[in-house]
Structure 1
Amino acid sequence: MPRRDPLDSYFERTAEHRYKPTGHVGGAWASDEQHFSPLGGLIVHAIDRHLAGRPDSGMLLSRISFDILGRLALDECEIRVETLRPGRTIELLEATVLIADRAVVRARAWLLTTLDTGDVAGGGPDRLTPPDALAPWDMSTVWPGGYIATLDTRPLAPPQPGRATVWISTGVDLVAGETASPLASYVALVDTANGIAVRQPPTAWMFPNVDLTLHFHRQPEGRWTGLDTSVAFGPTGQGITSTVLHDLDGPVGHAQQILTVRPQPGEAP
């Protein structure tokens, strides 16, 4: 199989644990920073590679939390993965992203054992209207950046301040020449949630998230990430973006992002 051009991907591998972002990773808040969404998927990809080097434990990644520790420069990064709490039915992993030898993201992932619980499975909202029945929405009318430009975005209804339900997909690979798992490809789009239901114009207010936590009760499948999102701003500079996560078969879990809300420089508070 011919190797795909790195420009068709968000990242290119440069060494065993090192990756170089392409222009498709360009951020929405600053053009010389990475959008966190593809980087979140890359971290899951690195965890998948770490797990592939040992016998299958029968456990699934069921929760992952990302803490964004610093500026995500649009530069080569290294991802280190280690096991913090080994176990046969429950395990905790940690992944650290370094740029210029400085930790910029730390992620912790809980792996839980698999059992047949189909007889008691249920709960959660109904399936979303499938994306094939929806018209596309150009997110670049709200947000700049190379990452946003790669998205196929289809809202169920016109997004409102603080509320939107949107399908998102992309034709861009996660890592050039490598096959990403359905989970890594799915996670690579989830951080977009904070940009689909803006309460205030990003030209006047900043509300970047400093974390992202995902809980899964079912492993997502397919190329579409469904985001049923609500955004709340508090009175003292904090906000929360809360999302019910979907794939085409229905809900798969939840995501939360804590926001730091502040006016853009030169704008009155």
Structure 2
Amino acid sequence: MTSKKTAGGTAGPVTGIRFAFGTLTVLPVRITRWDRDAARAGMLCAPLAGLVVGLCAAAAGGLLLALGTGPLLAAVASAAVPAALTRGLHLDGLADTADGLGSGKPAEDALRIMKQSDIGPFGVITLVLVLLAQVAALHELYGEGGWSGGAVAVALAGVVARLALTLASRTGVPAARPEGLGAAVAESVPLRSAAAVTLLTLAACAGMGALSDGGTAVRYALAAVVALAAAQVILRHCVRRFGGVTGDVFGALAETAGTVALVALTLG
């Protein structure tokens, strides 16, 4: 994956897709522009990248089920694929953010802790609990709904996780540092554009629910709303503690939204 800084001209959908896949996945997509217009287009296309990641995770789970394994191994595979397709960066961001928040230190010191390469106790505990929650929820979803129920849930979680990043890039949410991915995309998405993408994505989530055996459109849409609300709570807390968003915070938001979406779908 390579990138090139360019300037000028409004970034179109192709540029946005390249930016989204090039920054949010390890898929071999070349980023042709790295400027504010490209960042805005990329973050608006983030849910599409999440859909592809979710479909890959669903395919892995379905393959194991087809080979005769139980829902537990399918759940593990579906949780592992998104981590692999992001090189674990979102999970790493979750752990770093947990360490920064758990330190209780002022913003500057907390940001320094987050930049360190090691993972502290808060990060380890958070990673273990989040991964356990993902696997447990997916095990239940695959067990009750078969491959279709688990696959649709995984796809929805991938979409909602990246939609949380679109909302975190909206106007009014500053960057905590002057460098990094957080600074590149912070406040790049106008509020109206963020709202439009959110409504479209929620409608798509409702459609996913209609495709799932035993699922309802309302149930899936509500799961997405609850997941986004949880991510917004984390976002507001991080902005208060750190002064804005960072790449690590983006990773934490994605993992939070995706995990909450899966757990919400197991309820009721």
Same fold (TM over 0.5): no
Q: Per residue, is there more strand in 1 or in 2? A: 1
TM-score normalized with structure 1 length: 0.31
Q: Per residue, is there more helix in 1 or in 2? A: 2
